[in-house]
A and B are shown apart, each in its own frame.
Chain A
Amino acid sequence: MKNRLKVLRAERDWSQAELADRLGVARQTIVALEAGKYAPSLPLAFKIGKVFSQSVEDIFDADATD
Chain B
Amino acid sequence: MNRSQQLRVAALGLTLAFAGTSRAPAAALPPAPVPAASFDAGSLHVDRYGSGPQSLVLIPGLGSGAWAWYGTIAHFSPTYTIYSITLPGFDGRPATSKRPLFSTFAADFWRMLASERIASPVVVGHSLGGTLALLLAEQHPERLRAIVAVDGLPIFPPLASKTPQERATLAQQAAAQYGSLDSAKALAYEMNFMRTIGTREKSLVEPTAVLEARSDPKAVAAWLQEDLTTDLRPSLSKITIPVLEIMPYDPDFYASLGLTEAQTLAFYRSMLSGASAAKVEPIAPARHFAMLDQPDAFYALLTQFLAETAGAAKVL
A interacts with B: yes
A24-B25, A38-B299 are contacts. A29–B304 as well, Cβ < 8 Å? no
Interface string of B290-303 (1 = CB under 8 A from A): 00001111011101
Chain B positions within 8 Å of A21 at CB level: 23
Bound Cα distance A32, B297 (Å): 8
Give A23's nearest chain B residue, CB to CB: B24
Given contacts A40-B296, A41-B299, A44-B296, contact A26 B75 (CB under 8 A): no
Contacts of B282 in A (CB 8 A): 28
CB distance from A2 to the nearest CB of B (A): 15
Proximity bits, A37-49, B CB within 8 Å = 1, else 0: 1101100100100
Contacts of A32 in B (CB 8 A): 296-297, 300-301, 303-304
In this complex, how many residues of chain B approach chain A with their Cβ under 8 Å: the count is 20
20 additional A-B residue pairs with CB within 8 Å, beyond A28-B294, A38-B300: A24-B24, A24-B25, A25-B24, A25-B294, A25-B297, A26-B283, A26-B284, A28-B283, A28-B284, A28-B297, A28-B300, A32-B296, A32-B300, A32-B303, A33-B300, A38-B303, A38-B304, A41-B75, A41-B295, A44-B296
**Cα A26 to Cα B295 with chains together (Å):** 9
Distance of A53 from chain B, by nearest CB (Å):
17
* 9 closest cross-chain pairs (CB), A and B: A24-B24, A32-B300, A26-B297, A38-B300, A26-B294, A29-B297, A28-B297, A29-B296, A26-B283
B296's closest neighbor in chain A, by CB? A29
Taking CB atoms and an 8 Å cut-off, the chain A residues in 1-52 that contact chain B are 21, 24-29, 32-33, 37-38, 40-41, 44, 47
Please list 19 pairs of residues, one from A and one from B, whose beta carbons are closer than 8 Å in the complex, sorted by A's number. Answer: A21-B23, A24-B24, A25-B24, A25-B296, A26-B296, A26-B297, A28-B281, A28-B284, A29-B294, A29-B300, A32-B296, A32-B297, A32-B300, A32-B303, A32-B304, A33-B300, A37-B307, A38-B299, A38-B300
Interface presence of B20 (CB below 8 A): no
Report the separation of the CA atoms of residues A29 and B25 in the bound assembly, to the nearest whole angstrom. Answer: 16
- Residues in B with CB closer than 8 Å to A40 are 296
> Does B158 reach chain A (CB closer than 8 Å)?
no
B33 CB within 8 Å of chain A: no
Residue of A nearest to B201 (CB): A24
Residue of A at shortest CB range from B75? A41
Of the four ranges (under 10, 10 to 19, 20 to 34, 35 or more), the interface on chain A belongs to: 10 to 19
Closest to A45 in B: B296
| Complex contact A37–B23 (CB within 8 A) | no
Expressed in whole angstroms, the minimum distance between the Cβ of A63 and any Cβ of chain B is 18
Who on chain B is nearest to A30 by CB?
A: B297
Interfacial chain B residues near A25, Cβ < 8 Å:
24, 294, 296-297
Contacts of B296 in A (CB 8 A): 25-26, 29, 32, 38, 40-41, 44
Q: Quote the shortest CB–CB distance from B261 to chain A (angstroms).
A: 11
Mark interface residues in B258-282 (1 if CB within 8 Å of A CB, else 0): 0000000000000000000000011
Q: Is B285 an interface residue (CB 8 A)?
A: yes
Neighbouring A residues of B285 by C-beta, 8 Å: 26
**Which residue of the partner chain B has the closest CB to A38?**
B300
Q: Which chain B residues lie closer than 8 Å to A33 at the CB level?
A: 300
Residue from A21, A24, A32, A40 having most chain B Cβ neighbours under 10 A = A24
Contacts of A24 in B (CB 8 A): 23-25
